[in-house]
């Protein structure tokens, strides 16, 4: 799996790929309320959402492509939460093409994002899962994330569970070698 940062604004072909990926996740957007009509997500809405997300200091959108070069996931990350008491980076969204769910792309993308944070010297990562998203909660807890709080999200006030996962250094980290996980990262 290849993980690379999204440069903004995305060109038309990439925006079409991203829109198809977002639109494939109708069920998630129906429960999140992020788009007015989850059955009619447009390229303009996706472009505006990505621009808004990337405008935050320390924000990054990461694209995950399979071995054939097909876009399979997008991850939105934040190097620092706006709350100064929160020391950890965040995964704001991990969205896998719904036609490729249960094929390992979500796990692979999550592990690659964790490795990027680990290589940057970060010791843990956080995320929030909407209370009405049991599938999302099951996914993240299976990856070792543990609930540390319940609160409402900052943007829309939706009830969420805040999860955290320590990022233990790898054996190579302690020996000074690089490339600890073998994941192809930029």
- Residue 170 banded pLDDT, cuts 50, 70, 90: low
Distance, in Å, from the CA atom of 54 to the CA atom of 82, rounded to the nearest integer, reads: 14
Indicate whether 184 pLDDT > 80: no
Distance, in Å, from the CA atom of 165 to the CA atom of 61, rounded to the nearest integer, reads: 20
Note the pLDDT tens digit of each residue in 14-37.
999 999 999 999 999 999 999 999
β-pair type (124-130, 90-96): parallel
Q: What's the average model confidence in pLDDT over 106-112?
A: 96
Q: Which CATH number fits domain 2-175: 3.40.630.30, 1.20.210.10, 2.30.60.10, 3.40.50.720?
A: 3.40.630.30
Q: What's the average model confidence in pLDDT over 125-129?
A: 97
């Amino acid at each position: 799996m290849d993980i690379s940062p999204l440069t903004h604004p995305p060109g038309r072909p990439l925006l079409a790929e991203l829109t198809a990926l977002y639109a494939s996740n109708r069920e998630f957007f129906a429960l999140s309320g992020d788009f007015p009509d989850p059955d009619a997500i447009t390229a303009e809405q996706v472009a505006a959402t990505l621009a808004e997300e990337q405008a935050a200091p320390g924000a990054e959108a990461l694209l995950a492509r399979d071995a054939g070069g097909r876009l399979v996931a997008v991850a939105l990350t934040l190097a620092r939460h706006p709350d100064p008491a929160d020391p950890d980076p965040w995964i704001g969204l991990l969205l896998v093409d719904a036609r490729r769910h249960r094929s390992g792309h979500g796990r692979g993308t999550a592990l690659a994002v964790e490795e990027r944070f680990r290589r940057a010297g970060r010791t843990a990562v956080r995320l929030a899962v909407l209370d009405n998203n049991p599938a999302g909660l099951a996914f993240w807890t299976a990856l070792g994330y543990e609930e540390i709080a319940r609160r409402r999200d900052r943007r829309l006030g939706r009830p969420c569970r805040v999860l955290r996962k320590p990022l233990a250094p790898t054996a190579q980290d302690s020996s000074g070698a690089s490339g600890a996980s073998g994941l192809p990262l930029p």
